[in-house]
Amino acid sequence: MRAVTLRSHGGPDVVVVEDVPRPRADGPDDVVVALKAAALNHLDLFVVRGLPGASPSFPHVLGADGAGVVEAVGPAVTRVKPGDRVLLNPGVSCQRCEYCLAGEQSLCETYRLLGEHLPGTFAEAVRVPQWSVYPAPPDVSWTDAAAFPLVHLTAWRMLATRAAVRPGERVLIWGIGGGVALAALGIARLLGATVLVTSSSDAKLARARELGAEVTLNHAAADVPREVRRLTGGRGVDVVVDSVGEATWERSLRMLAPGGRLVTCGATTGPRVETDVRRMFWYHHTLLGSTMGNAREFAAVLRLLGAGTLRPVVDSVVPLAEARGALERMASGAHFGKLVLDIAA
């Protein structure tokens, strides 16, 4: 089958499209899904570059997000049957450890992601354990079904579970345009928050306003903490969503209101940050880490997708063979929303 693979680490130029063996449902809980669409995540760029702790065997098939039709199932599979329209939870957990048994699958001792530790979705088919497969809501396109899972699961856990955003609170999201930031905008609005977003692009800020952001700040031009103080009467915001890391961390902490929470799921500019502990204890600030989410949270966001309450923002859709160009677009930061690969085409 055709697949987007790595044979070494580097930039997007090391990515190739080649034929690899089609997976089979050899294990009792295996499900093979014939993919119709897959979606890119920033994770893919990190995998291309090479991540500490992840040493895939080459050729390695990229891609965490995907949706398609069940092609084959192992003998113990009860959740789905061949022909079902499904989408995938990119996180694969063991189902047996202390955390899995407590329903906290993303804390699993052997938590793995499709396309990072396991063969991924940028291919005509993927093999996953049955508990990673969920019915795709009817009336949701293949594009939306593939674009939705990873970023909405991530943003839901960050805002609804970890930061526990309440109606009327102010939430600031750095760098609107990426998939998690846009999912966070939709979810923060759904939870009743007032949303402030930043970008270095006025065009992206204008689009964020159309999606419901009430305050937009160009972080290339404005002193963001000072503007936030001015706009909130000196108070600051209740929650900051910071997946940027080194470049923004200190500013994020400076604009938190008393009792505020900083929630992070990444560090795109670097992981070593400085925290003034005096401000943290005096203002009762909380720092929250978050990665992906559990099965209950996945089911929750899928219901919202099915109801039409949440929908992914899609930047563009290209054929599987043009995955490298899509990765380059993502690396450039020019995109607004999800980049999707059309595999059925």
Q: Least CB distance from residue 92 to Zn ion, whole Å? A: 10
Calpha distance 56→225 (Å, rounded): 41
**In this chain, which stretch among 95-103, 146-154, 256-264, 287-295 interacts with Zn ion, using CB under 5 A?**
95-103
Q: Which of residues 3-32 bind Zn ion (CB under 5 A)?
A: none
Q: Least CB distance from residue 88 to Zn ion, whole Å? A: 18
Beta bridge partners of 196: 172, 215
Q: Does residue 89 interact with Zn ion by CB under 5 A?
A: no
Q: What angle do CA 66, 165, 288 make, to 5 degrees?
A: 75
Q: Least CB distance from residue 95 to Zn ion, whole Å? A: 6
Task: Give the list of residues 6+ apart from residue 299 with CB closer than 8 angstroms, or none.
Answer: 134
Q: Does residue 107 interact with Zn ion by CB under 5 A?
A: no
Q: Least CB distance from residue 299 to Zn ion, whole Å? A: 18
Q: Does residue 108 interact with Zn ion by CB under 5 A?
A: yes
Q: Least CB distance from residue 12 to Zn ion, whole Å? A: 33
C-beta separation of 339 from 20 below 8 A: no
Q: Is the CB of 76 or the CB of 221 nearer to Zn ion?
A: 76
Q: Is the CB of 121 or the CB of 294 nearer to Zn ion?
A: 294
Q: Is the CB of 256 or the CB of 295 nearer to Zn ion?
A: 295
Calpha distance 252→235 (Å, rounded): 13
The 8-class DSSP code of residue 132 comes to G
Q: Is the CB of 91 or the CB of 120 nearer to Zn ion?
A: 91
Q: Does residue 292 interact with Zn ion by CB under 5 A?
A: no
What radius of gyration do the chain's Cα atoms show?
A: 20
Q: Is the CB of 55 or the CB of 95 nearer to Zn ion?
A: 95
Q: Does residue 97 interact with Zn ion by CB under 5 A?
A: yes
Token pair 């609005």 is found at 189
Single-letter residue type at 241: V
Q: Which of residues 116-145 bind Zn ion (CB under 5 A)?
A: none
Q: Which long-range contacts (CB under 8 A, 24 or more apart) does 83-86 make?
A: 84/135, 85/135, 85/136, 85/138, 85/145, 86/31, 86/33, 86/133, 86/134, 86/135, 86/136
Q: Is 218 exposed, middle or buried (0-12, 13-18, 19+ CB in 10 A)?
A: middle
Q: Least CB distance from residue 312 to Zn ion, whole Å? A: 28
Q: Does residue 94 interact with Zn ion by CB under 5 A?
A: yes
Q: Least CB distance from residue 241 to Zn ion, whole Å? A: 27
Q: Please give the size of the binding site for Zn ion, defined by CB under 5 A.
A: 5
Q: Is the CB of 28 or the CB of 259 nearer to Zn ion?
A: 28
Q: Is the CB of 90 or the CB of 245 nearer to Zn ion?
A: 90
Q: Does residue 1 interact with Zn ion by CB under 5 A?
A: no
Q: Where on the chain is the footprint of Zn ion (CB under 5 A)? A: 93-94, 97, 100, 108
